[in-house]
Structures are given as structure tokens and as C-alpha cells.
């Protein structure tokens, strides 16, 4: 029964964010960041995949906690997402090399995503769940946009749509 409620809440929330995600997909025109697959050393790629898997799990938890109005667990999950990053896995020298490899656009998207997760924590800390769910939607849009730009070989159905001139 509980799972059914979570699924229904998820469908409702995602229906609100579908328009925004569609807009995200449509705004990738020929002047925006073109698709560019990340070329990473295997160890960095493995850590990045692990980070994304962790974030995916935490995003599911975060959604569940937000729709239940659970401020404490929402805040914890959002902060955990905010603090999940490559810095935990590599030393300073390695991080400097990685930062040279990663495209600036990727870094900017990643930073915005983590800052938005922190903003979700701030919103739920004041029981502002309307703002929290809007920020959650921004986070999912960020994921879609990044996957379209930097991992479309892995997410083949997320294609950059070019506006016709």
C-alpha cells in the first residue's frame, strides 16, 4: 500500500516536471552545447558511474521523503546528494588532472546540480515542500540535460533535438 502511494505521488510529480524536461530537451539547439562524450580514464569513469548510481538511489529516496513531508529525512538525503562527488575518491593531484579532462560545461552542470540539492535541504528545513519539489524537478532536468550532452551513447533515447532554421 505504501509503495502504491509513493508510485502515485511520483507519477503526479513527474507529470508536473514533464513539461520542464520537454522544454530542456527542446532548448538544445545548434547554438547550445553539442553532444560530447566524456573521454575519461577507466578508474575515473568507474567512480563517476558509482557516483551516478548512488545519486539515482538517493534521488528516489529524496522524492519519497518530500512527498511524505518528511523534512528530516528529505534534508539528510538532499545533503547526501549535495556532498556526493569525486572529491571523496581522489587525492588533490588526481582531482587537478580530472578537472583538466572534464569539459567546463560538465563541471558547471555538476556544480549547479549539487548546489540545487543543497537548496532542497534548505527548503525542507523550513518545511517549504513546494519549493523543495520545484528544486527536485530542476535536479531531474539537470540530469536529463547532462545525459543528453555528455552521455547520449549510454542514454540513447535522450537525443539532442536541433531546431530547424
Following DSSP, what letter does each residue of 79-126 receive, concatenated? HHHHH-SGGGTS-HHHHHHHHHHS-HHHHHHHHHHHHHHHHHHHHHHT
Contact 29, 163 (CB under 8 A): yes
Compute the half-sphere exposure of residue 129: CA atoms within 13 Å on the CB side of its CA: 15
Q: Residue 157 domain-assigned?
A: no
Q: Residue 160 domain-assigned?
A: no
Instruction: Give pLDDT tens digits along the chain (165 positions).
Output: 544 544 444 444 444 443 344 444 444 433 344 557 777 888 888 888 889 999 999 999 999 999 999 999 999 999 999 998 777 778 888 888 888 888 999 999 999 999 999 999 999 999 999 999 999 999 999 999 988 888 888 888 877 665 655
Q: Residue 28 domain-assigned?
A: yes
Overall domain count for the chain: 1
Q: What predicted TM-score, i.e. pTM, was given to this entire model? A: 0.75
Cα–Cα distances in angstroms (integers) from residue 159 to residues 18, 98, 147, 149, in the given order: 16, 26, 9, 9
Q: Residue 162 domain-assigned?
A: no
Contact 148, 14 (CB under 8 A): no
Q: Residue 22 domain-assigned?
A: yes
Q: Residue 159 domain-assigned?
A: no
Identify the pLDDT of residue 160.
61
Q: Which residues form the domain of 10?
A: 2-150
Q: Residue 114 domain-assigned?
A: yes
State the cell numbers at 18. 514533464
Residue 101 is part of a domain; what is its CATH number?
A: 1.20.120
Q: Residue 165 domain-assigned?
A: no
Amino acid at each position: 500500500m505504501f509503495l502504491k502511494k509513493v508510485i502515485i505521488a511520483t507519477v503526479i510529480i513527474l507529470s508536473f516536471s514533464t513539461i520542464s524536461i520537454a522544454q530542456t530537451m527542446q532548448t538544445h539547439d545548434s547554438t547550445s552545447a553539442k553532444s560530447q562524450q566524456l573521454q575519461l580514464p577507466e578508474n575515473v569513469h568507474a567512480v563517476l558511474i558509482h557516483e551516478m548510481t548512488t545519486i539515482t538511489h538517493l534521488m528516489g529516496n529524496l522524492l519519497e521523503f518530500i512527498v511524505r513531508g518528511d523534512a528530516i529525512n528529505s534534508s539528510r538525503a538532499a545533503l547526501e546528494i549535495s556532498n556526493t562527488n569525486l572529491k571523496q575518491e581522489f587525492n588533490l593531484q588526481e582531482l587537478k588532472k580530472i578537472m583538466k579532462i572534464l569539459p567546463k560545461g560538465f563541471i558547471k552542470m555538476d556544480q549547479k546540480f549539487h548546489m540545487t540539492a543543497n537548496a532542497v535541504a534548505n527548503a525542507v528545513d523550513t518545511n517549504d515542500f513546494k519549493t523543495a519539489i520545484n528544486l527536485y524537478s530542476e535536479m531531474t532536468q539537470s540530469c536529463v540535460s547532462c545525459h543528453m550532452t555528455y552521455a547520449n551513447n549510454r542514454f540513447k533515447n535522450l537525443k539532442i533535438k536541433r531546431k530547424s532554421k
